[in-house]
């Protein structure tokens, strides 16, 4: 991205300098630079806060548009591949299709799981997403041909991808059970000193919370 090319470091944006009592230090509460545009961006930029923030959101929205489409195509390919296996497709018939699904999936993961990529390097990220899209469409064309050769000539039924509930039900995810398991896990892994600290903090009320910021 343009910032890396100009030698701007992660810390320039995510750990901006601040002063307190005559001491200058970098902020170690790493988070979104957008909550502190004055210190994070104004060192180098002179635009209005609104303009910089909307520029970031605009980039993220544009990338999301592409990554959401790619994600749906990958899910459809997985469902079509399952159908092909059920109809007796062989490993040899599935080989290039599986490779295609993996290669598209990696590109989706790389663009989405790195989180900041839509802002850090929007051009590179959209290039990766488009290449994932080309790969998955190729795999789906191959799947349609394979399904036809196995005697299946209609579209494979799909869940409603616009509804999270519908998709979770489709894959058999029991959300209440997952939530309970998570609560149980957190109960086990959160150390006692942290629980004690939190309890103390909430007893001390808002003063402690605001001074810890």
Interface with ligand HEC by CB under 6 A: which range of 48-56, 136-144, 148-156, 160-168?
48-56
Q: Which residues contact 144 (CB under 8 A, 6 or more apart)?
A: 80
Closest CA to 104 of 76, 128, 120, 125: 128
Query: Of the candidates 18, 26, 43, 164, which one interacts with ligand HEC according to CB under 6 A?
Result: 43
Confirm or reject binding of residue 115 to ligand HEC (CB under 6 A).
yes
> What are the DSSP E strand ranges found in the chain?
17-20, 23-26
Confirm or reject binding of residue 41 to ligand HEC (CB under 6 A).
yes
Residue 151, H or E segment: none
Confirm or reject binding of residue 181 to ligand HEC (CB under 6 A).
no
Confirm or reject binding of residue 33 to ligand HEC (CB under 6 A).
yes
Nearer to ligand HEC, 6 or 203 (CB): 6
Query: Of the candidates 26, 29, 45, 199, which one interacts with ligand HEC according to CB under 6 A?
Result: 45
Torsion of CA 13, 15, 20, 23, to 10 degrees: -110
Confirm or reject binding of residue 79 to ligand HEC (CB under 6 A).
no
Query: Of the candidates 18, 29, 38, 44, which one interacts with ligand HEC according to CB under 6 A?
Result: 44
Dist. CA 167–CA 165, nearest whole Å: 5
């Amino acid at each position: 991205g343009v910032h890396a090319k100009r030698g701007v470091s992660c810390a320039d944006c995510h750990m901006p300098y601040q002063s307190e009592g005559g001491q200058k230090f970098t902020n170690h509460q790493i988070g979104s630079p957008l909550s502190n545009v004055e210190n994070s961006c104004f060192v180098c930029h002179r635009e209005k806060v609104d303009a910089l923030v909307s520029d970031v959101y605009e980039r993220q929205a544009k990338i999301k548009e592409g990554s959401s489409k790619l994600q749906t195509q990958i899910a459809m390919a997985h469902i079509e591949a399952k159908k092909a296996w059920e109809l007796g497709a062989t490993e040899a018939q599935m080989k290039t299709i599986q490779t295609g699904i993996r290669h598209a999936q990696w590109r989706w993961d790389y663009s989405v799981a790195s989180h900041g990529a839509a802002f850090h390097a929007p051009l590179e990220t959209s290039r990766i997403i488009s290449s994932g899209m080309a790969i998955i469409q190729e795999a789906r064309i191959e799947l349609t041909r394979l399904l036809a050769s196995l005697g299946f000539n209609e579209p494979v039924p799909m869940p409603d991808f616009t509804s999270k509930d519908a998709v979770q039900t489709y894959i058999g995810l029991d959300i209440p059970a997952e939530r309970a398991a998570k609560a149980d896990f957190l109960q086990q892994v959160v150390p006692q000193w942290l629980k004690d600290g939190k309890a103390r903090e909430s007893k001390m009320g808002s003063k402690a919370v605001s001074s810890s910021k």
